[in-house]
Amino acid sequence: MNGVKELILSFASSRKEFSTDELWDWISQDGDIVRNTVNITLSRLVSKGEIMRVSRGVYAMAKGKSIFRAVLEDREIQVAEILRNKYPFAPFCIYNGKSLVPLQHHLSENNVTYVETDRSAMEAVFNTLKDAGYEVWLNPSEDITYKYIDLRKPVIIVKPLVTEAPTEKINDINVPTIEKLLVDIKKDEDFAYLQGSEAQRMWEIGESLYNINQSRLKRYAKRRGLSYNSAV
């Protein structure tokens, strides 16, 4: 596997981007390498952040960009445990508002725990967390968020989880990918304080610092009712 890894990295470093077929055509000249081995090694390099996926079947060298990871603190882990026990079959995406900090140009404190789930489960989740002693808000509008919610405090916002939203697991908890966050700040009412020039700047920072899966980004933007151009 190490030999295949070096071959892939060598090929990637000589090109701006490449397809899996182009990679295989080049590597297969060796004659002793199985294509499945190449595919597995390529996937591992993507997971490690050494290679980035540009679009479906197209890759590029990561060029020193980092892999974005959403923030989970003790409160989010505790909330996830409560909800997992109470609603074992419900989907959840949970993260702390501090996840936004690395993307921000003008820093604004956000200590909110965001809990996203099916619309049909939102009210039950809201009541469960409220009964557990948390300060909880149910899918607040822009006006409610602005007037009544202090984002600096450890409150919880329960909001709808869009089906097929791009998430990943940290500590066995579903959290948003960077593609999901970048689109959500353009769309969600509780993120209205970020929208406009700040959201655009966050997008630019995200592009410069982190690996962005462009096909995932376009797909989720379309699902949220945003054209790719309006999202960026």
| Per-residue pLDDT in tens (0 to 9) along the chain, 232 residues | 458 888 888 888 878 889 999 999 988 886 678 899 999 999 888 877 788 877 778 888 877 677 788 999 999 999 999 999 999 999 999 999 999 988 886 677 899 999 999 999 999 999 999 999 999 999 999 999 999 999 999 999 999 999 999 999 998 999 999 999 999 999 999 999 998 888 888 888 888 888 788 888 999 999 999 876 555 5
Backbone angles phi, psi at 134, to 5 degrees: -85, 155
Q: Are 72 and 115 in contact (CB under 8 A)?
A: no
- Length reported for the chain: 232
DSSP secondary-structure letter at 210? Answer: B
Taken in order of first residue, the domains within the chain and their CATH numbers are 2-61 (1.10.10.10), 74-231 (3.30.460)
* Strand pairing category for 167-170 and 173-176: antiparallel
What value does the CA radius of gyration of the chain take, rounded to a whole number of Å?
Answer: 20
Contact in structure between 93 and 168 (CB atoms under 8 Å): no
pTM attached to this predicted model: 0.74
Query: Residue 18 pairs with which residues in a beta bridge?
Result: 59
C-alpha dist (Å) from residue 101 to 64, 69, 183, 206, 207: 20, 12, 16, 11, 15
State whether residue 94 is helix, strand or coil: strand
Give the SS3 label for residue 66. Answer: strand
